[in-house]
Each structure stands twice: as C-alpha cells, then as structure tokens.
C-alpha cells in the first residue's frame, strides 16, 4: 500500500456530469476506466487499449474500432460495441447536465455496431480532433447504462462507481466521506500482461487521506504517516529535507 493525501474531498467520483472535472477524478478515479485507444508516451502515436485495431476512411470522416474480445469490465462482463453506443448515448443525454459533452460528442452521428466487436463512428463534419476525441472516450458498461438516464446517473452514482475495464477500482466501502478514499488493484485485470501495461499499476492499494493543511501533511510525511510528498518550494527542499528519516535512508529524495 502507498499512502498519499489530498486537501479537499472530491465533490463526486463520477467521471461525467457536474463537479466531475476534478484533479482527483482525472488522476485517480480514471485509473478504473479505459478508452478505445491510448497514446504512446514517447512517440505520441495511437496504441491499442480496449480496441486492438482501427481504421480511418480516406476522407477522414468515418472511423472503425475492433474491440479486444478479451476486454472485461470489473464485474466480469465483456466489453462490446454496445458499450460504445451506450456510452455515447449517455454523453448526449441532456439530463446529464454536461454542455461540454454535448458539444464534444455532438460532432458525431450515433455509433453503429457492425458486429459484436466492431463499432463504426461517422463524423458530421471534418475536424482534425475527431479521431482523437472519439478514440479517447472512456467506455462504460451498456448493461447498466440502459437501465437509467443521465438524471438518475447523477443521483445514484455520485459516490458509487460504474464498473470499469481499467486496472483499479474503488468500492463503496472504501469511501469514507470527508476523510479518505482507498483505490484497489484488480486481481482479474484483463490487460495486465499487455506490453504497454508492464511495470505499471504496481500498488495493490493506494490510500488518499484528507489533510487540508500543507504543513501538517509535510509533518505527517516526516513521521512516516504518508509515503509520498511533492516539494513545491525550493526553500523547503534546501532547508527542510535533512530530517531524521532522510538521514537514516528511509526517505529517498
């Protein structure tokens, strides 16, 4: 387990809708979800994620994605073309109260399932960002999305997560409102052995505790109550990082 802190408890753990655009969600909660494609960290080329193959029409208006038949959500259900369609429908649901999603995904026609694992997406107009946007859309499970609309999602999933296909998950019992959130590594992550994932998702458990005072967090780190601390002050780095646990080698700079 690794222990870290955050200064404010997130207003929601939903990845969509009001208050979802928090730093915590974009850096932590997102570890539970995957998009159709990823971006190579060095070359910036597209790489497989949920989709193993993709194709772009000559006019760059139509995109095809072939979903990996091995891909699974954390509840064990397979990821299919239906999940792409259902996720798109959620993004375009006005009751989700997300004008930015309507604007972003409104540039596409509703996706079409050409087969169980092949989804086709048609752009309404040419734009260089279209492929990046649709291939980067986080995919959620259709078998749940089909049971509610955006309004119900906002009410029932504020601190309850939709199953995702990523390497981590957050259970309801691991959310202590106002105090801490614990993220747990899935033991059944479908893409654990994929080349792009080797050496990542190493911690079984990541625990974030609320510490609203930066100085208090630093003192907790010095005592060993937190395992990680990012120095944002040059003065602090020079003058305050020779404490006992640094001298003993328990803390590495």
Beta bridge partners, 62, equal: 122
- pLDDT tens for 114-158 read 999 999 999 999 999 999 999 999 999 999 999 999 999 999 999
Distances from the Cα of 58 to the Cα of 61, 62, 118, angstroms:
8, 8, 19
Residue 231, pLDDT above cutoff 90: no
Average pLDDT over the chain reads: 96
* Backbone φ, ψ for residue 126 (5° rounding): -70, 130
CB 53 within 8 A of CB 66: yes
Any long-range contacts for 166-170 (C-beta under 8 Å, 24+ apart)? 166/30, 166/31, 166/32, 166/33, 166/34, 167/31, 167/32, 167/191, 167/192, 167/197, 167/200, 167/201, 168/31, 168/32, 168/201, 168/206, 169/32, 169/74, 170/13, 170/29, 170/32
Cα separation of 18 and 250, whole Å? Answer: 42
- List, in sequence order, every residue forming a beta bridge with 56; answer none if it has no partner: 63
Query: In whole angstroms, how far apart are CA 211 and each of 28, 155, 216, 224, 234?
Result: 17, 27, 7, 15, 22
* Terminal-to-terminal C-alpha distance of the chain: 20
Of the candidates 123, 140, 141, the one whose C-alpha atom is nearest the C-alpha of residue 132 is 123
User: Which pLDDT band holds residue 233 (cuts at 50, 70, 90)?
Assistant: confident
Percent of the chain with pLDDT over 70: 100
Residues 6+ apart with CB under 8 A from 220: 5, 211, 226
pLDDT tens digit sequence for 168-206? 999 999 999 999 999 999 999 999 999 889 999 999 999
Q: What is the pLDDT of residue 232?
A: 85
| Cβ(137)–Cβ(35) below 8 Å | yes
CB 145 within 8 A of CB 138: no
Q: Are 92 and 103 in contact (CB under 8 A)?
A: no
**What percentage of residues in the chain have a pLDDT greater than 90?**
96
């Amino acid at each position: 387990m690794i222990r870290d802190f955050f200064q404010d408890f997130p207003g929601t753990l939903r990845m969509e809708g009001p208050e979802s655009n928090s730093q915590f969600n974009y850096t932590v909660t997102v570890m539970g979800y995957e998009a159709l494609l990823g971006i190579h960290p060095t070359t910036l080329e597209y790489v497989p994620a949920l989709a193993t193959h993709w194709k772009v029409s000559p006019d760059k208006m139509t995109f095809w994605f072939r979903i990996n038949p091995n891909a699974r959500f954390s509840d064990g259900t397979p990821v299919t073309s239906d999940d792409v369609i259902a996720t798109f429908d959620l993004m375009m649901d006005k009751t989700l109260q997300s004008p930015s999603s309507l604007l972003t995904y409104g540039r596409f026609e509703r996706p079409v399932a050409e087969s169980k694992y092949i989804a086709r997406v048609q752009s309404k107009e040419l734009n260089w960002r279209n492929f990046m946007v649709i291939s980067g859309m986080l995919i959620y499970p259709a078998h749940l999305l089909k049971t509610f609309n955006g309004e119900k999602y906002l009410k029932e999933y504020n601190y309850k997560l939709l199953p995702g296909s990523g390497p981590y998950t957050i259970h309801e019992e691991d959310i202590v409102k106002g105090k801490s959130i614990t993220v747990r590594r899935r033991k059944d992550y479908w893409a654990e052995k994929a080349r792009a994932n080797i050496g990542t998702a190493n911690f079984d458990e990541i625990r974030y505790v609320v510490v609203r005072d930066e100085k208090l967090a630093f003192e907790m780190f010095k005592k060993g109550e937190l395992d990680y601390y990012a120095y944002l002050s040059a003065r602090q780095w020079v003058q305050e990082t020779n404490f006992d646990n640094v001298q003993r080698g328990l803390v590495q700079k």
